[in-house]
Structure 1
């Protein structure tokens, strides 16, 4: 029996500043039916606090323990592996916020860095890439929040963290530790926070390569939503819904 639904955000619940059709009503119905909800996103440019505020402005309630993004997951990973870490960040304020919340120190001098954490960065400069490159070459742990090539915005896809990660991986010859979808670490962390087993959870998202691949790796059921990237043609073997309002019926039929 399914107990929890893990929902991707960008392209699934919303695209840019607009909710996808039926998202609010579908989530409300899932809650009414007693499903635990986890909002799971690879977007590291925002913090969990910023995500909750955005959802609230759209009329969707969410608590901090119902939201997990690759930035928070990366901060938790570093905490568990190295305790408090001096981090050089290639990313935005949301990623910095999550690292600070979890007790890490942000450094601007690459020579002090024990880890280089890379996320999406709309303010990227060559000098920032150069310092990150030098820190990694010097021996700092290279951690990627995710490898997403692009993020879906209202005007179409824009470069994601994966583009930055690829640059540094190419320049340094060092393979990063990757935290976000479709890697098992973030799936296991989400299941742990939900206190459910993989067969009790369903992953719903618009990206076959990340959302559905995550479900496959973790042993969860995956459902494609035909919004965002999910508008592209998908194999018939994949269960899909047109919007989140259709999801409760699908889940109840498979209980």
Structure 2
């Protein structure tokens, strides 16, 4: 069921794609193991079981594959061609379709979905509250009335202290190397994080990302403006850097 859609500006020409070849090359071996999918899948289970499900920011399929075992169908959207290529190289489950598109623009999808989700802070890859609200509204437009959107969003309780530190290097036990983060935030609350992944005997991998870092009440306000009613917010726990939001589309 794999498909490609290249209609959205910024997807065809690569503009605005943060997670490119560098990230894709190490995601499954170095990054994904630090964020096990089990917690997210358990939280999603009540909403995705037997449903037609949309994942925004599907990446290499870290969450989509286990969700596909529960759902009737999963459609995964991502604007990164290299990340989608990594997913395809591993093998895509028969009930999963992949669509290359940018959630900051109306989604080129057919039919409605009974549930949607976005993990690893994908929906934070915007530059303003207005852009976040528009992105959430694009998701709302393809959901059935009353359908649930679940999302992980960058926690200010975790990332503001990182900004204060500036640069920090941490060991990564799952791959035996280290990761160095250099973090800044501007006056518009756009956080820029440079990441350097190093492992002995392998070439270092370096990449950067930008996300909108705002407080929980502001994320909730964007959800409401986009046509959702917020059901629950679970603050970031232990080493997980994201708050978890559950919202239901207003009929």
Give TM-score scaled by structure 1 length.
0.32
Higher helix share: 1
Higher strand share: 2
Give TM-score scaled by structure 2 length.
0.33
* Greater relative contact order structure (CA < 8 Å, 6+ sep): 1
